[in-house]
Structure 1
Amino acid sequence: MNNILGRIVSGKVTDENDKSYFVQIEGVTFLLDKSEIVKPLHIGSKFSGFAYENEDHKMQITRDAPKVQIDHFAFGQVVQSKYGLGVFVDIGLPNKDIAVSIDDLPELTKLWPKHGDYLMIALKVDKKGRIWGELADEQIFKDISTPGGKELMNHNLQATTYRLKLAGTRVITDDYHLGFIHPSERDVEPNLGKHVNVRVIGVLRDGTLNLSMKPRGYEAIDGDSKMLFAVLKHSDDYKLPYTDKSSPDDIKKYFGISKGQFKRAVGHLLKNRLVEQINGELKLTQKGIEFSIEE
């Protein structure tokens, strides 16, 4: 069966009933749904299609072959996960999702692909004749990728994660450029197969993109943060006698916002290293002084 399942194969029509034709391949009978066939088949005629075992454990053959096959890699959408087994991927078959084993997934289940994520897989058949999904390795992604160019610098792109390592996350963009996200360029590690928004912050000699999942500075600053930043920009020596320790009344009187709003605004500016709090004063850092809110 290993040379039949998960492939395009040919067989002979040997019988039929109201709903199905029966196609025999190397002594094994496969069901063929009549709803796929426009022109009726005759007993004894040849038929070629994709062979698989459906969810009812019956052998089936279909003319509507999926892109994912033995030695044929393509993306499929994750539809389910099962603890202790793995995740299931929809490759386009009407009555069969393909399992990707727990052995091929991250050790941390929180990094497993979620419903709606995408995995690039091919098919493999084990010794018991069961079809599994095989994750594409680094070489496969290199083979299908195209180098990125300097013109992509600072562009926003979308990408799918395909390898999770301590050193960082490897992705392939929707335009098939390979990319790398260093841990310092993300707030949370994305799970395997996640479709993410990224920004190009570097292009290596081989065309691999260095990417960031963090927003640009001006995108991270809005509302009260932008107002507070502007006030600091126009103040003497780029500093003000207010911090998150100041009284709510003083903050309300000067800035017109609550202390809670003030603290959140300061927090955003601190996170972006645009301000610092020293000796009871809030002041711009050198980065803050040089930073333009419109950039």
Structure 2
Amino acid sequence: MLALGNYNDLEVARAVDFGLYLTSDDGDLLIPRKYVPEGTEIGDVLRVFVYRDSEDRLIATTLDPLVTVGQFAALTVRDVTPTGAFLDWGLEKDLFLPYRNQRRTLRPGQRETVFVYLDEASDRIVASAKWEWFLSDQPYPGKAGDAAELFVADETDMGFKVIVDGTHQGLLYHNEVFKPLRLGDVHTGYVRTVRPDGKLDLSLQRPGHDEALAAADTLLAALQQAPNGLLPLGDKSEPDDIYRRLGMSKKVFKKALGTLYKRGQVQLHPESTQLLKAE
């Protein structure tokens, strides 16, 4: 069966002035000439993305959309109408976000996290900003301390809501985030707590001793790249200066300093750190 809203490997059946027709179990469909790779011949198999055009016809393209059916993405709003919003997903025809699937008032230029699915009633590809509905209802299979892939989905007064490993919801608290985050960013993070309600408290830094070791590696790399091994950051430096240069909090920076000092790798000054040459 043809995978609508996803990639398909389809054979070229015939050529017309305005493109090529590809054969599938659901009938032939057009790939416009501007998307046909140079040198394509009858009988070749093309890997194409299949969706519906502005006249609701099945159509193929070699363009890569920003998201496919069954995935989460943060997309930019192009237009808003009484029936819904239209999102830029990298194709000529924008992705429809029905009014019933919205969670807030939207405006052009705004980014919104959505889940993309195939509407069974209309057989159309649509988006939903109520992305929590599409997460797993099973207990999170991991435990505290595990690494996970974090997709930044929304910002609240408490912190950033994230989608963990594409299946569960978690929270990065504001007071534990020390670098800019935007919707759609994907980072490696760590599970701090699995809460009774199944949601997860998360961190972008490794917990405990591992956090200090990771920060020490980052600081050592910065020292090795600094002129003469001298970094203008020390115990008395301002937190903002530390964050701008290293992307870590002052608390984590001091742990890293302590780790390198115990190894005998650095000489400490109030507002600078000197890398010592190995003997």
TM-score, normalisation: structure 2: 0.49
**Larger gyration radius, structure 1 or structure 2:** 1
TM-score, scaled to structure 1: 0.47
